[in-house]
Chain A
Amino acid sequence: MSQLQVKVAAIDDVSAGVRHFTLVDAHGGELPAFSGGSHIVVTMPAPGRTYRNAYSLLSSPENRAHYEIAVHRQPQSRGGSIYMHEQVKVGSVLDISYPVNLFALSRVAKHHLLIAGGIGITPFMAQIHDLERLGGDYSLHYGFRSREHAAFADALKARVSQRAVCYDESLGQRMDFDALLRAQPLGTHVYACGPQGMVEALVSTARALGWPEHHIHSEQFLAPPVGEPFTLKLSKSELEITVQGDMSMLEAMEAAGVDAPSLCRGGACGRCELEVLGTDGELQHHDHYLSDADKASGRKIMPCVSRAKCGYLELNL
């Protein structure tokens, strides 16, 4: 995967546990163009192991002088968000991937309904730039735990107050998905980003109300869940690798020098799919990519977030 080198130009704390990073090209040039909804994968070379996490770009896609990302310090972090909060300083140089968009705005939508929960506001920050520039019709509904967790709420109020509705859960304000979805004009596309429970509730409500699948967009980057260690056998490479409990299969393969494909590293894009040749245990699928039928077949796995409860798992790589 080709990489960009960026330098941290500024760090700000924007709300409780959320740190905002401004990144410029390490060699002083322009950064590659992107569209709203894109993310980058940041490589974090921690001692002993390398973390790679996906973060949505929240700056204006028109501005190629810098990128902005926001990192929520995860209470159950495996190390990535803690690394960003504790190790990365102004002037640090980071390797990042080129921007990739798995959460693009529909070009045929008549209205865009943007649903954000907590740190899930970040891709919408960039999409709003695109919508304002293109004159797209949209409304943003943003829920957060309390005022102190409301990252960018003031900036949104200042920029697009008539388009944005905020919900402060500490004041008992909650989005009513059913009423909201029923009220949308024909040709609306809905986009959800935020905690898993919120995204799943939104998607299942939209489906139950008869929204066609391609009018429903969601993005969640999952952290690889922790499990038990097992042995990974790679048939073509003739390698046996131990996958530690707090490591994903993808990370274990990369640490062993295997050139395994990957893109989003969060179970969303499907790039890292591998064929399962055998196991003495059971697969634990955690991705949003494979269909239920694929998961049940036991023949495919996404090594970025999924693992197995087994002694060994053999993959065709």
Chain B
Amino acid sequence: MERGYWIRSKPVYTALLWNTKATAHAVLAAGEGGLAVVKLFQQALPEQGITVFYSPAGASKDYLPALQAAAGADLQVFETTAALLEAWTRYLASARMGLRIYSAGTEKFMWEVTDAAEAFGILNNDVMKELTGSLARSVYCVHCKSLTHEVTSNIATCSGCGRHLFVRDHFSRRMGAYMGLMVDAENPGEVPEIEEIYP
């Protein structure tokens, strides 16, 4: 997108910071999100109990030694994000109010964590998020309603209908995806130059 362009629906991700008013803390990270968790544990620790859920899938480095040193017995490691999300849902079912939630990783991962929490009455704003590793987007095709993941370019080929989709900044929190619109609807075949802008 254009430099500085922002619309209300486009999420703003920040750095993880402990919420000291809490009864418990759950930290969820995948891949490069491991680094964000190591950084989080370099801050003064909260008094309440902490549980860390981490899946190394997709990491460019091995963050496990640093995470183990930081979180120790509070760390649970999962081979895949699917296994992590299953454990997360089980954890949510017995959690109590006052739980603070932190997530770090790709946008897709963070919104999967958020989606699971929303089923338990947590609003998406109450999951703190730090985007790490890649700006790759999930794109929702407004024509065939398919989701295309890991899109790094301004124009994506829809995984469902094969249309060339212009990737907008209009973001759906429910789907964790950006809106994609057919880019050559007016003049079929006239597709602008495809550039990698979400590396």
Q: Which residues of A contact B (CB under 8 A)?
A: 108-111, 181-188, 207-212, 214-215
Contacts and interface: CB of A to CB of B under 8 A. Distances in A.
A181 B100 CA distance: 15
Given A182-B23, A209-B23, A210-B19, A109 B121 contact: yes
Nearest to B100: A210
A108 B24 CA distance: 22
Given A210-B19, A210-B23, A184 B96 contact: yes
**Chain B binding surface, main DSSP class:** loop
Contacts of B95: 185-186
Nearest to A106: B121
A209 B126 CA distance: 14
Contacts of B96: 182-186
B92 interface: yes
Contacts of B179: none
13 contacts: A108-B121, A109-B121, A182-B23, A185-B95, A186-B95, A186-B96, A186-B99, A186-B117, A186-B121, A186-B122, A187-B122, A210-B98, A215-B97
A202 to B, nearest CB: 13
A281 B31 CA distance: 60
B123 to A, nearest CB: 7
Interface string B101-143: 0000000000000000100111100100000000000000000
Contacts of A181: 97-98
A93 B21 CA distance: 51
Interface in B34-93: 92
Most central of A110, A182, A187 by chain B CB within 10 Å: A187
Contacts of A214: 123
A195 B92 CA distance: 34
A208 B23 CA distance: 9
Nearest to B46: A210
Nearest to A187: B121
A186 B97 contact: yes
Contacts of B23: 182, 209-210
Interface string B150-189: 0000000000000000000000000000000000000000
B92 A186 contact: yes
B22 interface: yes
Contacts of A182: 23, 96-98
Residue of B100, B121, B126 with most chain A CB atoms under a 10 A cut-off = B121
Most chain B CB atoms below 10 A, which of A186, A207, A214: A186
Contacts of B117: 186
A297 B98 CA distance: 33
A185 B97 contact: yes
A174 to B, nearest CB: 21
B97 to A, nearest CB: 4
A110 B120 contact: yes
* A-B pairs, 9 with minimum CB distance: A187-B121, A210-B22, A110-B121, A210-B98, A184-B97, A209-B98, A186-B120, A210-B21, A186-B95
Nearest to A183: B96
A201 to B, nearest CB: 16
